[in-house]
Structure 1
Amino acid sequence: MSTTYAEATETGTGVPPVMQAVICHGPENYTLEEVATPVPAEDELLMKVEAVGVCASDLKCYHGAAKFWGDENRPAWAQKEVTPGHEFVGTIVSGGEAGLARHGLKLGDRIACEQIVPCGECRYCQRGQYWMCGPHDMFGFRNYNGAMAEYLVVPPNARTHKVSKDLAPQHAAFAEPLSCSLHAVERADIQFNDVVVVAGCGPIGLGMIAGAKAKSPLTVVALDMSDDKLALARKCGADVVINVGREDAVQLVKDMTDGYGADVYIEGTGHPSAVAQGLNLLRKLGTYVEYSVFGSDVSVDWSIISDDKELDVRGAHLGPHCWPAAIKMIESGILPMDEICTNQFPLDRFQDALDLVGDTAGASVKVSILPGSAR
């Protein structure tokens, strides 16, 4: 049977009947509202949200990028009346016995959830490729409320991972973007003698740098336009940093590789110019990995991919099978998490958090919302 509010209160985890949550009513129309706190079904769990990271995809969704709101060629990922937020961590405060048993959890456990809630029935799920699930329901975007709220329901098909209670909430929530970074690195199939170039030193790019360094290639090169972020990239494992605003990255990479070019290029900026940059600085038979979500179409000379270089071009989506490694990396203390997680806001300042993520000239790296912090 489900744990009741009264029983939860007796264990010191009292759940109020109403809560605050951000509700999406359409592009650039998000409001903080008082809503009923959800009651978990027998096979569900109720999480008290501790932290939710604000992703660049959250911002693109907020501004109404076609990929999220849909057009005649693309399905909509974002739905109205859904609470956003897919990078989160929290504590289980209520739930049915079936839900607890399904996830191997108990009340009081701290967990993070993967952003996708796979159906378990489509061709991809049946083949174990759950991250490409056909219906593609996701926390904060499609059919499941996200974590820009005080409480969140964890459905039976959610993929949950325990996280140390010793981590700061904003650090623990970084497991989601870091898992995505590590998946992109896995897709790159990095070898010991490779020169690996990572474009972008934002949250995703920094994770890519750390993951690439863990593969022990010959050289990890970081590209960005911010000297501060490039300095942070060195702390995450970059051997060489290049400010693309002042330096010719293509020429410098070719200079360090006897004119051939890099073996691997991983794109994590979401800027169209970074695509052509990567194609040009790769060697023949090199590997290009695209992770970013673009707000508009990108045009490149495809003959570079085919006739000129015969490149191996790979996409990367979400962070499948990389969550345990991401959580372990954060818990190990090898990443400068205080410098990565730069800004935290209370829930009633969600708009400030979104605006800061959109301030490309600012000094923020990872922006988070802590629903339980003082208003």
Structure 2
Amino acid sequence: MSEQIPTRMQAVVVHGPEDYRLEEVDVPVPGPGEMLLEVRAVGVCASDLKCYHGAAKFWGDQDRPPYVERGRIPGHEFVGDVVRGDQAALERHGVQLGDRVVCEQIVPCEECRYCRRGQYWMCGPHDIFGFKSFDGAMAQYLLVPARARVHRVSKELAPHHAAFAEPLSCALHAVERGGITFEDVVVVAGCGPIGLGLVLGARQKNPRLLIALDLDDDKLELGRRCGADVVINVAREDAVARVRELTEGYGADVYLEGTGHPSAVGQGLNLLRKLGTYVEYSVFGSDVTVDWTIISDDKELDVLGAHLGPYCWPAAIKMLEDGKVPVDDICTHQVGLADFQQALDLVADTSGSSVKVSILPNG
């Protein structure tokens, strides 16, 4: 914990698509019920990149309103140390000054229909760190509002490893949506950060066979280390045909999509058996077109979405603290705050060696 908190800090500020700038801004001052974190690490994910490049989901078009605000500090996968907060804030979140914590991405309103029903991750106003209403963690300090959902994490974890709790919790929620049973053949599309989390989570469900798909042999090997029984390089093999070979011609029981690539959608629909389950966990940069007859008349599939990581954060943190996640292999690149553009470029370079890229704002 810092002994003295400055009044000014370095932060990345969003001015528009492909216009993110490192600036000096005021360190936020927590009000009643709020806390101040000294940011230790913030992960950069595909949604950050798609926002940076101006995807309509974030900046809006004729069909949807803007989701990201200009002047906002990005960064929603973060870990930090509590350096300020009144007694009400500390008691509310069950923490003390000096504790290391992670926060869920969404800051629920606690008042809308969804929040009242315990479905806080689908909160109506949908305020999220780094995108809407609250600044994110690509900065030296971050304000934690009273309504935030906070979880303590061990300081024995490296900060960039602890920050992986966010994508891992998201993946675990998608796995839960899949309703995996012991007899299932499960296919995970993608061995990036979310895909590897899907493999890790699905492995905990102990399905009969767990298959991982990707275009990169190194990432497939990492998928194997995360628990996949079989890996398939879709650049060299027909994944649909291979899965059918492994399932007496029927197809997989559950397909978990974690690539955000349009081709992975049709692939999943085709390799599932009749009455199978498709779970989508991705942010797409463009619209996807598929033959919906496959979903209905051909196979009567269950097609499910998954959003954020509700009620999965404790499990994700426990997996990290118990050493069940090969974080040294997953968290491949760390850079300083001044090199935020390099971090974005590393995430964009799908042919490179990066898996999880993190920014360490305070060194």
Q: Which moved further from structure 2: 280-289 or 67-76?
A: 67-76
Contact 1:87 1:177 in 2 (8 A): yes
**Contact kept? 1:235, 1:335, Cα under 8 Å:** no
Q: Report the alpha carbon displacement of residue 12 of structure 1 after superposing the two structures with TM.
A: 5.0
- 1:157 equivalent in structure 2: 147
Conserved in 2, the CA contact under 8 Å of 1:56 and 1:357? yes
**Distance in 1 (alpha carbons) for counterparts of 2:281 and 2:25:** 35
Aligned residue runs from structure 1 range 123-142, under 5 A: 123-142=113-132
Q: Which residue pairs with 2:303 in the alignment?
A: 313
Q: Show CA shifts across 1:97-156 (max 9, x none).
A: 221121111100100000000000000000000000000000000010000000000000
Using the aligned pairs only, state the percent identity.
Answer: 71
- Out of 147, 163, 172, which is 2:137 matched to? 147
Q: Alignment partner of 2:136: what SS?
A: coil
Q: Residue 42 of structure 1 contacts residue 97 of structure 1 at CA under 8 Å; is this kept in 2?
A: no
Moved more, 265-274 or 73-82: 73-82
Distance 1:134 1:239, change over 3 A: same
Aligned match of 1:206 in 154, 172, 196?
196
- Pick one of 341, 353, 371 that aligns with 2:361: 371
Distance 2:329 2:227 in 1: 14
Q: Equivalent residues in 2 for 1:41-52 (5 A)?
A: 41-52=31-42
For 1:226 and 1:132, how far apart are their aligned partners in 2? Answer: 34
Q: CA deviation at 1:13?
A: 2.9
**Long gaps (5+) in structure 1:** 1-10
Amino acid aligned to 1:260 = Y
Q: How many residues align?
A: 363
Q: Which amino acid aligns with 1:256?
A: L
Partner amino acid for 2:279? V
Q: Out of 256, 270, 287, which is 1:266 matched to?
A: 256
Computed over aligned residues only, the root mean square deviation of the Cα atoms, in angstroms, reads 0.7
In the alignment, is the contact (CA less than 8 A) between 1:140 and 1:146 conserved in 2? yes
Whole-Å separation in 2 of the counterparts to 1:235 and 1:148: 31
Q: Distance in 1 between matches of 2:253 and 2:289?
A: 22
Q: Secondary structure at the match of 1:179?
A: helix
Moved over 4 A (4+): none
**Cα distance in structure 2, aligned partners of 1:302 and 1:226:** 29
Q: Match for 2:286 among 296, 299, 308?
A: 296
Please, what TM-score do these two structures have when normalized by structure 2?
A: 0.99
Distance 2:8 2:86 in 1: 20
8 Å Cα contact 2:2-2:83 kept in structure 1: no
Deviations 1:286-329 (A, max 9, x none): 00000011011000000000000000000000000000000000
- Tell me how far 1:176 sits from its aligned partner: 0.1
Structure 1 Cα separation of the partners of residues 184 and 65 of structure 2: 38
Q: What secondary structure does 2:206 align onto?
A: coil
Unaligned runs of at least 5 residues, structure 2 = none
Output the amino acid matched with 1:38.
P
Q: When the two structures are superposed, what TM-score results if normalisation uses the length of structure 1?
A: 0.96
Moved more, 295-304 or 70-79: 70-79
